[in-house]
Structure 1
């Protein structure tokens, strides 16, 4: 999750509106697609931040690009544009997702392993570590990292649980050198 206060405020406002209208899931899905669009096209963000490009043209561009998006999202994009905060779009989407996750008792987790995890392994990791961070479940993103040699490394927010063989060997090495 980002550390942007501005993005957090806008995300919280949209989350409250989306919750009132029962549209959090739909809006989250659409926002993730918008995030992908901005990440895949960094020139888009630069163009929308360019002071030489008139605000009316910027709005027209956004309206064209995201014509099928939910009206709450379109309105939010226009507000971000008008307030010269469109550069916060990635952080904004991450913050919104954080609000949705918190409401559902879910946390995102990156699980590093030497091979793809099976469904049962993912479920076991989710149930075990979700309790440790006060959540009901984890949304696992499995990342293959052969340098671990064995075991797993798990990152949930700013918390890291490292049970990899390479980490165990490092600890053993430090213990042997230290004694």
Structure 2
């Protein structure tokens, strides 16, 4: 069974983060990765080009240099490592995982609260406090998504977890229980 980019990205991101911490270079690496991500977003075929054998092997280093121009040596070596290990296509996913790792280390968490109606600032603050306590972080960047189909309550999505306290889910579980009996 092949290992997907989604599965390997956190491992590569953690390794890069630890190397950046050791080099006292986290902010620089994060800025480098943001610049690389911008380049990749503007040129979606770039990674595909590197993966195919259309480009001569001798030209690959210059393409990688173009991608990492101005980046710290650690960032340049990391991108080259991804290429050498056949994981260059994972770069955008690794960048996202790296940013999550940096945020987690700083005690930050991005979360989405899905509710039937828009949250008031007081409700957002209360939910943010509860989510911060649940996940053991200091800061929660809460986004409110409005979905009338939830009927009431709130569904929190954070850190690849979902905490569902919506009325729609409760009704669905109640219906399933009634049909099972």
Name the counterpart of 1:149: 151
For residues 7-64 of structure 1, give each alpha carbon's deviation from its aligned partner in whole angstroms, at most 9, with x where no partner exists: 3443233212322343323433542453465456442221110123124423323333
Point out where structure 2 has 5 or more consecutive residues left out of the alignment: none
- Rounded to whole Å, the distance in 2 between the matches of 1:172 and 1:29 is 49
* Residue in structure 2 matched with residue 16 of structure 1 by the alignment: 18
Alignment of 1:120-135 (within 5 A): 120-135=122-137
Distance 2:25 2:123 in 1: 32
1:72-151 to 2 correspondence within 5 Å? 72-151=74-153
Relative distance call for 1:72 and 1:104 in structure 2 (3 A) is: same
Q: CA RMSD in A?
A: 3.1
Number of residues of Structure 1 aligned to a counterpart in Structure 2? 177
Q: Distance in 2 between matches of 1:120 and 1:75?
A: 46
Structure 1 residues 9 and 151, CA, compared in 2 at 3 Å: closer, same or farther? closer
